[in-house]
Structure 1
Amino acid sequence: MRPLKQVKLITCIMPPGRAHGLILALKKEKGIDSANHSGGRGIGVGQPIERGSWQEVDILSVVVEAHRADEIFEFLFARSEINRPHGGFIYQTPLTAATLFSLPDLPLEGA
């Protein structure tokens, strides 16, 4: 593990089912093998808050070195289809520091 000083956190909040494919694409096409995927529930701005109106979402967070942040942001924006109606949103923020870690390169389960 090594500490990283100039890093950014890119977060995508999108409809369920998209994050896993993005993680695979980040690994295959951009060489990024560390990301966090979680789920949540939310409601769009301007929507009435009613019982059962909350929507499930995928939350994908990726820490990248600052010099690659715009490249990875654009990649995620294009691949996640966030530019479509109800596609979610994406943002990036600077981090004070982060620690680089990665898992060994193992074959995918079921492959």
Structure 2
Amino acid sequence: MSAPTPEAPVPGRAAKLISCILPDDGTERRLLGWLRDQQGIIRANSVYCRGHSILQETSARRGKLPEPTLVRVVMIVVDADRADALCDLIYEQADIHRPGGGALMMTPLTFAMPFLLPEGVANEIGE
């Protein structure tokens, strides 16, 4: 019986996950385009979901949830050494400081794999 060969190490490095909760007003599309075109970030994702009292104050009858609003959650993976500066830029670029502008969080990741798109892959239609 031969000894097992060691596996190749996973090429990764320390990274952080920046998460934004944004209003459904086009901010997330503009932010994703800016991240790609101006910052070279291609490890990002956006999903829509229902938010209860996330971006605006609301009231509800006792024992009832307030009416949900549609919000966008943007998740960005960035190298740890660049994360603090990019988080500050995202805060300004997405206008999170405005009333109802959103929320911004940053959490550590163990590591992230580099990902490069093949040459010739076109951007999404409409951009």
Q: TM-score, normalised by structure 2?
A: 0.75
Q: Residue type of the partner of 1:56?
A: L
Aligned positions, number: 110
Contact 1:10-1:63 within 8 A present in 2 as well:
yes
Aligned partner of 1:38 in structure 2 is 47
One-letter code aligned to 2:89: F
Q: How far 1:110 sits from its partner (Å)?
A: 5.5
Aligned equivalents of 2:53, 2:74: Cα separation in 1: 18
Alpha-carbon RMSD across the aligned residues, in angstroms, is 2.1
Matching residue within 35, 55, 74 for 1:60: 74
Decide which moves more: 39-48 or 23-32.
Answer: 39-48
Q: 1:77 to 1:110 in 2, by over 3 A?
A: closer
Counterpart CA distance in 2 for 1:74 and 1:31 is 16
2:23 to 15, 21, 26: 15
Structure 2 counterpart of 1:73: 87
Q: Which residue of 2 aligns with 1:107?
A: 122
Instruction: With the length of structure 1 as denominator, give the TM-score of the two structures.
Output: 0.85
Bigger radius of gyration? 2
In structure 1, distance between residues paired with 2:85 and 2:38? 12
Q: Which residue does the alignment assign to 1:47?
A: 58
**Structure 2 CA distance for aligned equivalents of residues 57 and 37 of structure 1:** 10
Say whether 1:25 aligns with 2:34: yes
Instruction: Confirm whether residue 98 of structure 1 aligns to residue 106 of structure 2.
Output: no
Identical counterparts, % of pairs: 34
